[in-house]
Homo-oligomer: A and B are copies of this chain.
């Protein structure tokens, strides 16, 4: 163990024949310290290469200037984008972000919540696992009044700050769009119902069908983890026998993209034979052929709201704030070729070779 000769404020104090308290205050620009002293202190600090020890300060102040973030995966478009925003926004406020991935495992999520608590984060931001239905591992945060904000995949029946997309509306808008483009038999591929965001979208889907005089049939909704592999298998089920649907609303874009690929392989024409709408407006929907219609969730806005709420909670009069509130971020349908009607781009020929 090589001796790590960390310079401390004590060293500065000695060099200048001052007390540590004045040095501390000088470095923090405390008003009681004379300009001259501040200058001298800072100069010496720089000279000897002093670096504040955030651990010590954190221990003393009972705050770490650090925020924890738990997401299922940072490699998926939506959480990745939000994490980026959160991290950059937080940086502006002088906060560090500890990003952790639960890998959609409940046990990992619990473990992470505990470590982050031990790290004494000043706040926690969470988008839960697909299967988290018990939220008691977040109780420590709630009970100790540590700011706690959930986004996107948020708890049901757990009193906390929540920022979510308008999933009901998303399901409704996507489905209505398909109906208006002429679809009569619309399949919905959903995520597991344990996750409220999917159940909301299903509800929207059903409402839209009903409103337009179509019936929603049980065997036209599929519940699954929305992976590439599952999407492919479900396609095989769907198109394994007649009648084929003329519209598919997929609850994420990975699924929508896979469906398009499947259709291409099977010589099913998109959008002529079957129209497709995805969810999240992943940039990939734009580069695939044909480009896929999708529901944009305004991730930037969501990320900014998360940070805003968090900062309010941290700086604010906590007593005044209700510990529970729900904020809904709007969605928007982005129409692309995969759900176009005949009259428009449907006829366009796109040929290779």
Instruction: Indicate if the CB atoms of A2 and B349 lie closer than 8 Å.
Output: no
How far apart are A138's CB and chain B's nearest CB, in angstroms?
13
Q: Which residue of chain B lies nearest to A63 when distances are taken between CB atoms in the complex? A: B55
Residue of B nearest to A342 (CB): B353
Which range contains the number of A residues in contact with the other chain? 35 or more
Q: Given the complex, which residues of B lie within 8 Å of A81, measured CB to CB? A: 75
The stretch among A115-123, A128-136, A149-157, A185-193 that forms the contact with chain B is: A115-123
By beta carbon, the residue of chain B nearest A83 is: B74
- Number of copies of this chain in the oligomer? 2
Q: Are A53 and B118 in contact (CB under 8 A)?
A: yes
Smallest CB–CB gap between A278 and chain B, Å? 12
CB of A103 to closest CB in B, whole Å: 7
Known contacts A75-B81, A100-B97, A257-B287, A4 near B62 by CB under 8 Å: yes
Indicate if the CB atoms of B84 and A120 lie closer than 8 Å: no
- The reply on A224 being an interface residue by CB < 8 A is no
User: Which chain B residue lies CB-closest to A64?
Assistant: B55
Closest to A285 in B: B287
Shortest Cβ-Cβ A-B pairs, 4 listed: A289-B289, A99-B99, A54-B118, A55-B59
